[in-house]
A and B are shown apart, each in its own frame.
Chain A
Amino acid sequence: MKEQKVPGIKDGTVIDHIPSSRTPKVLQILDLANIEDFVSIGMNLSSTKMKTKGIIKVANRKLSNEQLDKLAVIAPGATVNIIKDYQVKEKFKVNMKDRIQKVLRCPNPRCVTNVEKVSTIFEVQEKEPLQVRCRFCERAFGSNEIIIV
């Protein structure tokens, strides 16, 4: 039997294949640090695909579409497993869309999205490394500049 380094859950969601160093960021962005349900976190776990990886297991919860969109931005290669009664019921890779809505804030302080009450829209120009362009002010930003709401 495979050794389980992160305790399993009966029902809930397992986020796997997170770049290890981004695991705390995922926890923060998905707002999983302050919930009452059981959450277990593993970092620097060995992985054949990516050398080391991070895993987050959240009991009794499914990620919302907005959380999945955010996850795709910070951990584009992550996989999501839906667990029911200790069994994987569904497994999928997060999918970065061509257009990211609401999830990011425009880093340009002079952009209308930071002046008026309007939801942001970014067109994805490159997925790896991530490069997006604000639909409003048309500035392009790399992954080191983007701000996740």
Chain B
Amino acid sequence: MKKLINWQNAGNLMNFKGRDIISIRDLSKAEILFLLKEAEKFENKRGEFLSGKVLASLFFEASTRTRLSFESAMEQLGGKVIGFSDDTSTSIKKGETLWDTIKMVEQYADCIVMRNPVEGSARLAADAAEIPVINAGDGANQHPTQTLVDLFTIKKAKGKIDGLTIGFVGDLKYGRTVHSLAVALKNFNVKLCFISPQSLEMPREYLQELDEKGIKYIEVDKIEKVSRELDVMYVTRIQKERFPDPLEYERFKGVYRIDRKTIENSKKGVIIMHPLPRVDEIATEVDKMPNAWYFKQAKNGIPIRKALLSLVMK
């Protein structure tokens, strides 16, 4: 029987064999740093580490980056992938419960990676399965491997996480990646800046968690107010449909757009991150600047996922 772990009893368990990766809350600071170190080892490494192992890639909802990077990571480690990329052909459509689907799939695989739009479904899948389950996004709740990719990117770019000032820009109300990263960063000695229109500000419950940990943060409505302080700018997409008034959207979309001028007026060496896909919140002229880290961030999905797959299965 595998050990059930959640944020209440997260400890310094460096033995990840058989372990589920469901929420960033399940990981202690020591464990996060250990995973980042392991990922570094896997950056340019390929081989038969998981030869003979099978990954079930269950995507009940479409995804490009996450699914492809998991599948590519598994292939690079010598393992095989089975699964589906949307739920049109699954038995769930015939009324099968998620519990039963997982109980069936685990007979065919050594590890499950799952994306499902229902919040908490990854935890339920982990309860059902004896084999490790990795959450690749459960609705608006968690996407822990993306958060590890973000932390890995920050550490690679800046050489550290402690001591940095990190700004989040755009839709902070609905942005799952922002919520997860903020929860992870409460383990570190960082200063956070939340830059958003009032209608899309960071939800209170996350700020309360930061307060409990004594993390310093400020909330502002314009990038210029803090851009000279920021070591990292984590930009998110502002979706038009979030605004009841389309005029309000038109007004805000320019305010939170990062271009060459924004970077020239910011702290030297600031890195720009984005979970992608972007629409027009970062001008393409930024892509060639050394500050642009969003495509490297996407690339970092591979070493993080290789480290996780190899640790939970080996």
A: which residues have CB within 8 A of B?
Answer: 98-99, 108, 110-113, 115-118, 123, 134-140
Contacts and interface: CB of A to CB of B under 8 A. Distances in A.
Q: Bin chain B's interface residue count.
A: 20 to 34
B8 interface: yes
Contact of B140 (A110, A116, A117): A110
B215 interface: no
Contacts of B141: 137-138
A64 to B, nearest CB: 25
A135 B7 CA distance: 9
B90 interface: no
B23 A112 contact: no
Interface of B: 6-8, 23, 25, 97-99, 118-121, 123-124, 138-142, 205, 208
Given A138-B23, A140-B205, A113 B8 contact: no
Given A135-B6, A138-B141, A140-B205, A116 B98 contact: yes
Contacts of A108: 119
A140 to B, nearest CB: 5
A123 B124 CA distance: 16
B120 A112 contact: yes
A136 B124 contact: yes
B123 A135 contact: yes
B249 to A, nearest CB: 24
A116 B99 contact: yes
A115 B99 CA distance: 12
Contact of B97 (A99, A116, A135, A138): A116
A111 B97 contact: no
Given A117-B97, A136-B121, A136-B124, 17 more contacts: A98-B8, A110-B140, A112-B119, A112-B121, A112-B123, A112-B124, A113-B120, A115-B121, A116-B99, A116-B118, A116-B121, A118-B99, A134-B120, A135-B120, A136-B120, A136-B123, A138-B120
Contacts of B99: 116, 118
Contacts of A99: 8
Specify which of A98, A123, A135 lies most central, judged by the most chain B CB atoms within 10 Å of its CB: A135
The 5 A-B residue pairs whose C-beta atoms are closest, nearest first, are: A136-B120, A137-B119, A112-B120, A137-B120, A112-B121
B139 A110 contact: yes
Nearest to B125: A112
Among A108, A116, A136, max chain B CB count under 10 A is at A136
A113 B208 CA distance: 25
A110 B205 contact: no
